């Protein structure tokens, strides 16, 4: 099922809230317009008895498993950060990062059938991954997604602050997440809208939603 048909208008729209700069509050339900856009297609597919495949690149979440399988879809989980050596996650040394072999890493950890997924939950991984991994990961997801498949990611804005915690994202319902603090990992970068467009330049479309808690939601269409 092609998600593009479900969100066909106004891809240049930037959803804005009335309040800016509020802190992320772990444990408090967070409304997500990006999740709402993505799960709309999942619900419609479920009603038509179509079975989708979703790739979750964050830590294993029982809430995510229950929600997605409850709609009749399948979930494949790959916790990428757990597979990266801890020293590499903690370092900001570009020379050390340059030695990291991204192609070998993805061949070992994300070796899946091409065009086998309808959606991918990227969460905020691009903000925390070592630099040599980011573009190869985006390219690998392009290979794994079916045409029209969607990627949902949450990228920090400057309002998040330098000490923004690494978060675990747990789906509560079609438009609500619970955020929980994960391990201490340095925030490595902040993307502006132009950076996002460059990162996903091979993809068909993207839509931005600017939250009031220092997170920018981006829904990208393969």
pLDDT in tens, 138-153: 999 999 999 999 999 9
Q: Are strands 145-156 and 14-15 parallel, antiparallel or unpaired?
A: unpaired
CA-closest candidate to residue 157, choices 215, 199, 212: 215
The pLDDT tens digits for 166-194 are: 899 999 999 999 999 988 888 888 999 99
At residue 13 the predicted structure's pLDDT band, cuts being 50, 70 and 90, is very low
Q: Which domains does the chain have, with CATH numbers?
A: 3-221 (3.40.50.150)
């Amino acid at each position: 099922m092609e998600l593009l048909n479900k969100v066909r208008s106004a891809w240049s729209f930037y959803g804005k809230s009335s309040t800016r700069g509020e802190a992320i509050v772990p444990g408090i339900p967070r409304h997500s317009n990006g999740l709402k856009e993505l799960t709309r297609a999942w619900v419609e597919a479920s009603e038509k008895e179509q079975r989708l495949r979703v790739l979750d690149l964050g830590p294993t979440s029982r809430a995510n498993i229950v929600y997605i399988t409850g709609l009749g879809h399948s979930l494949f989980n790959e916790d990428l950060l757990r597979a990266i050596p801890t020293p590499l996650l903690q370092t900001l040394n570009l020379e050390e990062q340059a030695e990291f072999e991204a192609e070998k890493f993805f061949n070992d950890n994300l070796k899946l059938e091409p065009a086998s997924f309808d959606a991918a939950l990227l969460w905020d991984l691009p903000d925390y991954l070592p630099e040599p991994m980011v573009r190869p990961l985006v390219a690998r997801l392009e290979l794994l997604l079916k045409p029209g498949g969607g990627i949902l990611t949450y990228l920090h804005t400057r309002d998040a602050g330098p000490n923004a915690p690494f978060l675990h994202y747990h789906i509560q319902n079609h438009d609500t997440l619970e955020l929980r603090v994960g391990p201490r990992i340095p925030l490595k970068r902040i993307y502006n809208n132009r950076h996002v467009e460059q990162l996903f330049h091979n993809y068909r479309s993207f839509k931005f939603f600017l939250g009031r808690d220092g997170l920018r939601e981006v829904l990208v269409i393969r």
